[in-house]
Structure 1
Amino acid sequence: MRGIFKVGKKSHDVLLTHTRLTWTPIVPESPTGEESVPQAGEVLLQDVFAVKVKRRRMAGQQSGGAVLGLALFHSRRRGRRLEEDTLHLHNASAEHTHSWYNTLKELLTGFSSRPRYVKVFINPSSHKKEAVHIYRDHVAPLFKMADVRTDITATPQLSLSLLSADGTISVVPLFLLAAIKHTQPLTDRKGHALSVMKECKLDEYDGVVCVGGDGSVAELCHALVLRAQLDANSPENPVRAALPLGIIPAGSTDVVSCSVHGVRDPVTAALHVVLGHLQQVDMCSFSSSSQLVHFGFSAMFGFGGRSLARAEKKRWMSSSRRREYAVVKTLARLRPEDCQLSFLPAKSSERSLFGQQEQGKDKELDTESEESWMTNQGLYLSISVMSIPCLSPHAPQGLAPNTSLDNGSASLIAVGNASRSEFIKHLKKYSSSSGQFSFPFVETHSVSAVRIRPRSLIGWSEEESEDEGDSKNTPIIQSERAALPWNIDGELVEIANEVLIRWDWLCFRSKTQITSDSMDLFEKRCYVK
């Protein structure tokens, strides 16, 4: 399709194909006969998320008006960020403009991965209670422009906060207010997302969107996979979730969002959703005594678990002060864990789509010969298992920079017993570009399964004495059957027995695969589930 439009103040020859729109300045012939090569511009249709007819309206006029042309709303990449941009095509012919508008709408409708109706979960208690404002100011306008309908699960406080100070609804898009009127108070406590997902008619939606921090994301991912298992009547094996998940960062660190999108930016995340970008992501299952405990992306045992447990006891503090207190207190009472660490090294042939593994995979894992499992017995200050790089403002290269989003394995980082000063040096290296794994007491492995078995069932106590012994040779051993603190995606989970960790696959709304030193762009046909 070809036509004449003004771009800026100059007339351009505009060409529309199935994949892109290009515009070339119309340059009159030079009197001297010299030929000049006009500079053309283009935008890929895969980056266009909305097209609107521009009109001139009088003040107070709600509809109609003289046609001015078209406005194409598209994304523009700046590094790892996506930004909204607009291309204005001016033409006063209503017939010409509407012909182009209808053709463009038809082409954009052909992108089948783009959602039309999504279920939105907002955690209004997220970091500094910013989730509501982030959704209202950055996400909702993009969804409205892209004609994405929403069904919002929110608390009563959310509905009130979206109203203006004088009680009017002028600051709230009408479609957003209408959606909120039909919601129930379901996200005001832990576990509500799971209860909602159990009752949702998922076939009505094209995707799920989470506006919150890592805790909200982890809870919703856990709920999506459990719902898939329930629908498939498969309680033993993880099943691919029925819907993709979009993550809008609104937490204090947003590790999952940073790892998936490569940047902590709600506009970038929202554009990934409306453009239908899809990214496959590894996820771990955590089980104990043959019972599923949780699905998640990262787990920390030892220092990470104990510092979080201490922080949870000081909920009355501000989040930053609570974090600092917990880290300093745990470092002051640093003790190793005496446990047996076993793992299965990852194999390159283990890549397979989530939900499409061979039926005997779990049985094969359980019956692996002991020679296949690498086993170490000893004292560990920290053991971490991560299926994603875990990028954050505090660790710009990631806690596990050697892993990627969908390499079919997880990264095991085991920190052996060392002096407090050496351990602190190791922790400080995470804020730099490299060197955190260069210490002799740190080992890393790419694994497909990890088993952590404490030598004796140990627990933790806030009343531990700082003078109980030196961390070099004194593990914490307490009453039997006491639960051990684990940090799973920033949530405290206490487990009393050995823990088995395996990898599985999910998908997220993103198009960017992030590693520690590269950024590759690609597209996969799968949804966040």
Structure 2
Amino acid sequence: MKDVFSVKLKRRRFVGQKKGGTLLGITLFVCLKKEDNKLKDSTVNFNNLSEDHCHEWFRCLKEILNGFQNRPKSLKVFVNPNSHEREAPHIYYEQVAPLFKLADIQTDVTVTEYKGHALSVLKECELQAFDGVVCVGGDGSISEVAHGLLLKAQMDAGKETDYILTPVRAPVPFGIIPAGHIQPVDICTFSSPSKLLRFGFSAMFAFGARTLALAEKHRWMPPNQRKDFAVIRTLASLKPEECELSFLPLNNPQQCFQENDRMKKDGIKKSDSKDQWHKIEGHFLNVSIMAIPCLCAMAPRGLAPNTRLNNGSLALIVVRNTSRADFIKHLKRYASVKNQFNFPFVETYTAQEVKIQPTLKNGFETEDNVPEGGNYPWNIDGDLMEGALEVHVRVHPQLINLYGVSIDDLDDSKATCGCL
């Protein structure tokens, strides 16, 4: 019965007849698991011409369905009309909304009109009126809704939102094409020394951020063309960033052993503080900080395949300065079965917290990507963030619930994202 999401009385009606009709039995609407981790709705018909029997079975089945406590009855839905090549509204109203109606789920739909619209709505939203929040859109929309949902949770808890050390959990689950189950998911806070910048799942600095910054300056291009142009242009002017990385390793014996071995090999300094912060200094072509695997078309196994949705860890991936040819080889391996980290200039760590402080250069200039005045670009969940010199990233385990299946069941997923 857990695969059944609705039950209806089955009737024969004439053309144009909307009510009544000859009772034929009952119909169960079920959710079937198909190949490629996809779900498909189907029906199971039970024929019975007895009105009493049909109504009795209908009542009993309804009671069973209503007894599933985690099933939502009311959802707040955000639809980005510009996502998926402007197909998001069609996807929602033609495919998703009918299923919500069939499952007797009430919805309050907001079609976003500008960047930040979902965030402003969530700040004023009474979340206790809903059983969940659903987003129909791309990476930017999902990140904005997740940020707004957690920010509203802090506001409702009476917390100071300028700087949050221990955020409270989101009060309702978050859905990205809901699949019926609920699982907790890790999320990060990105903060400057004085204030909270935003909530998010992943971040890139240097190449990943420069590429996004350049793409944002050419929004007039079609999305795929803009993305390819930005990658090629950034590779053509590939430059390392000089900065200092500090990270607090995850307290896992096996991982700590591997990381300590690497630190001895690479001569990485370990701080004297009781928290055992580790520091890396140098020139880096790219720095990635991921709380989730980030499955995407260019990386079927994920940009950070060694992490999971809810294991309380950050994957810190550091690419030191090397030749353009070697860096391109590293990027190409994301799309293959080969280990993209098996290069002498690539280092990976498992951390709880990460701090990045670029070395500010006097008179620093770049042709395309880096703003003047030392305001370095950051790529956070495919969304451009500027204006922060030093950023502190801290993972908060299982801070938000997500409608969906476990990432361990998605090894062959064809999921896509726009992190680059």
Length-normalised TM-score, structure 1: 0.70
1:56 Cα deviation from its structure 2 partner: 1.0
After superposition, residues 130-529 of structure 1 pair within 5 angstroms as: 130-154=87-111, 187-235=112-160, 236=164, 237-247=166-176, 269-270=177-178, 272=179, 275=180, 277-348=181-252, 369=273, 372-456=276-360, 461-462=366-367, 481-504=373-396, 505-514=399-408, 517=411
1:84 has 2:28 as partner: no
Cα-to-partner distance string for 1:3-27 (whole Å, 9 max, x where unaligned): xxxxxxxxxxxxxxxxxxxxxxxxx
2:286–2:319 contact (8 Å) kept in structure 1: yes
Distance 2:314 2:409 in 1: 14
Aligned to 2:25: 69
Secondary structure, aligned partner of 1:111: coil
Secondary structure, aligned partner of 2:393: strand
- Flag structure 1 segments of 5+ consecutive residues without an equivalent: 1-44, 155-186, 248-268, 350-366, 465-475, 520-529
1:371 Cα deviation from its structure 2 partner: 6.4
Distance 1:394 1:513 in 2: 18
2:294–2:303 contact (8 Å) kept in structure 1: yes
- Are the structure 2 counterparts of residues 490 and 288 from structure 1 closer, same or farther at C-alpha, using a change threshold of 3 Å? same
2:360–2:374 contact (8 Å) kept in structure 1: no
1:369 Cα deviation from its structure 2 partner: 1.6
1:450–1:502 contact (8 Å) kept in structure 2: yes
- Aligned residue identity for 1:70: I
Aligned to 1:56: 12
- Aligned residue identity for 1:117: S
Secondary structure, aligned partner of 1:508: strand
1:282 Cα deviation from its structure 2 partner: 0.9
Distance 1:314 1:296 in 2: 24
1:434 Cα deviation from its structure 2 partner: 3.0
2:174–2:400 contact (8 Å) kept in structure 1: no
2:300–2:412 contact (8 Å) kept in structure 1: no
- Are the structure 2 counterparts of residues 222 and 144 from structure 1 closer, same or farther at C-alpha, using a change threshold of 3 Å? same
Distance 2:117 2:21 in 1: 47
Distance 1:245 1:463 in 2: 36
- Aligned residue identity for 1:311: A
1:460–1:485 contact (8 Å) kept in structure 2: no
- Are the structure 2 counterparts of residues 515 and 60 from structure 1 closer, same or farther at C-alpha, using a change threshold of 3 Å? closer
Distance 2:217 2:170 in 1: 35
- Aligned residue identity for 2:346: V
Distance 1:95 1:54 in 2: 14
Distance 1:422 1:455 in 2: 24
Secondary structure, aligned partner of 1:430: helix
Alignment size in residue pairs: 388
1:495 Cα deviation from its structure 2 partner: 3.2
Distance 1:112 1:463 in 2: 52
**More displaced, 424-433 or 490-499?**
490-499
Secondary structure, aligned partner of 1:98: helix
Secondary structure, aligned partner of 1:107: helix
Secondary structure, aligned partner of 2:72: coil
Q: Quote the RMSD (CA, aligned, Å).
A: 2.1
Pick from 40, 52, 59 the counterpart of residue 95 of structure 1: 52
- Aligned residue identity for 2:168: V
- Aligned residue identity for 1:513: I
- Are the structure 2 counterparts of residues 399 and 460 from structure 1 closer, same or farther at C-alpha, using a change threshold of 3 Å? farther
- Aligned residue identity for 1:415: V
Distance 2:361 2:219 in 1: 27
Length-normalised TM-score, structure 2: 0.88
Secondary structure, aligned partner of 1:372: coil
2:214–2:368 contact (8 Å) kept in structure 1: no
- Are the structure 2 counterparts of residues 113 and 328 from structure 1 closer, same or farther at C-alpha, using a change threshold of 3 Å? same
- Aligned residue identity for 1:67: L
- Aligned residue identity for 1:205: F
- Aligned residue identity for 1:57: R
Bigger Cα Rg: 1
Q: Percent identity?
A: 51
Distance 1:511 1:324 in 2: 32
Secondary structure, aligned partner of 1:389: coil
Distance 1:296 1:439 in 2: 28
- Are the structure 2 counterparts of residues 484 and 139 from structure 1 closer, same or farther at C-alpha, using a change threshold of 3 Å? same
1:67 Cα deviation from its structure 2 partner: 1.1
- Flag structure 2 segments of 5+ consecutive residues without an equivalent: 254-270, 414-420
Aligned to 1:108: 65
